[in-house]
Amino acid sequence: MTLRVDDLRVHYRTLRGEVKAIDGVTFDVGDGEILGLAGESGCGKTTLGKSLIRMDGRMRLAGGAAELDGEELPIGDDHRMNPFRFTKVSIIPQYSMSAMNPTRRIGRMVAELLRSRGRQLDTDELGRRLDLVELPREVLQRYPIELSGGMKQRMVMVISTLLDPSLLIADEITSALDVSTQKAVARTLVEFRDRGFVRSMIFITHDISLTYQIADTIMVMYAGKLAEKAPAGVIVGEPRHPYTRLLISSLPEVGVRYTDRRLAGIPGEPPSLLDPPAGCRFRDRCPLAFDKCAEEPPVVEVEPGHHVACWKA
């Protein structure tokens, strides 16, 4: 196992109290596995991704633990986390377009970043990786503003994976791109995995059809909890959780980008995570809800590798 996350709880500190953005999530990611993480906006998927590498000032680790390559990952301790960042865990952020310092030549920035982490820049290797993502090597002499959006995206992908991390978090990296570029980016990520640049990956997106194309396993989150996790084919082909089913059926067709922030097909809204209701969090919107749903459904492994949190599953 590369990554093992156990009962993770991450809260956001807000004025009205703590928002339980991740409320007890357990899962693991194997060697060479690409885990697709899907769900509506606000389900906690981005929070989950961030908390595995760097929590922002408002986030707080409320419980649980993470383990990477058999070693504890001190995700609640910003300082102790530093040695892991970039070398063991890395991220391709949502904001790739603006992730590079605008006033440094890219090559120099990369060299300075590496030096600050006590590494030397391996120019040949960097060049090979640029070739792989079809960026001319001259980009290193350029400023970020001279690159197109797609080029910046690929450059950031190369930078983030330069130290061959065990775990790469790709956070909504395709939402700003057009469909054909999305596919190219997705293919590149798979290639990175195949070539061993990254051992395993969490691919976060609200676009389940894109996830399906690259992920080995898909994990669907709802309101800060795990709803269902199964091999990609199973999630799309025979989902068990009613939420996953609605999510899949609301897709126009596989391959078409799904952008709506709130699900058009599912009436209602997710509950407030400030003070989430007891029991199943989906029950207010669930067509199958019954009395038992007032109790919280445990995550059950219904088949090997297929976990569902629903009484009806």
Which residues form the interface with other proteins (CB under 8 A)?
12-16, 19, 21, 41-42, 44, 46-47, 53-54, 56-58, 81-87, 90-91, 93, 95, 98-105, 112-113, 116-117, 142-143, 145-146, 156, 159-160, 272-274
Least gap, CB of 235 to other proteins (angstroms): 24
Among 86, 49, 91, 84, residue whose Cα is nearest residue 69: 84
Q: Report, in Å, the least distance between residue 238 CB and other proteins.
A: 30
- Measured at the CA of 295, the angle between CA 40 and CA 303, to 5 degrees, comes to 65
The answer to whether 48 touches 37, Cβ cutoff 8 Å, is: yes
Smallest gap from residue 104 Cβ to other proteins (A): 7
3-class DSSP state for residue 308? strand
User: Between residues 220 and 234, which has the closer beta carbon with respect to other proteins?
Assistant: 220
Encoding tokens for residue 3?
Answer: 């990554």
> Between 19 and 248, whose beta carbon lies closer to other proteins?
19
Task: Work out how close the CB of 136 gets to other proteins at its nearest, in angstroms, rounded to a whole number.
Answer: 16
- Distance in Å, CB of 96 to other proteins, minimum: 9
Q: For other proteins, give the closer residue by CB, 8 or 81.
A: 81
CA 125 to each of CA 59, 150, 297: distance values in angstroms, whole numbers, following the listed order: 36, 21, 49
Shortest distance in whole angstroms from residue 115 CB to other proteins: 9
CA distance 68 to 130: 28
Residue 35 and residue 40: Cα distance in Å, rounded? 17
242, 282 Cβ separation under 8 angstroms: yes
Pick between residue 98 and residue 249 the one whose CB is nearest to other proteins: 98
| Residue with Cβ nearer other proteins (254 or 274) | 274
> Residue 35's Cα: distance from chain center in Å?
8
Task: Pick between residue 159 and residue 308 the one whose CB is nearest to other proteins.
Answer: 159
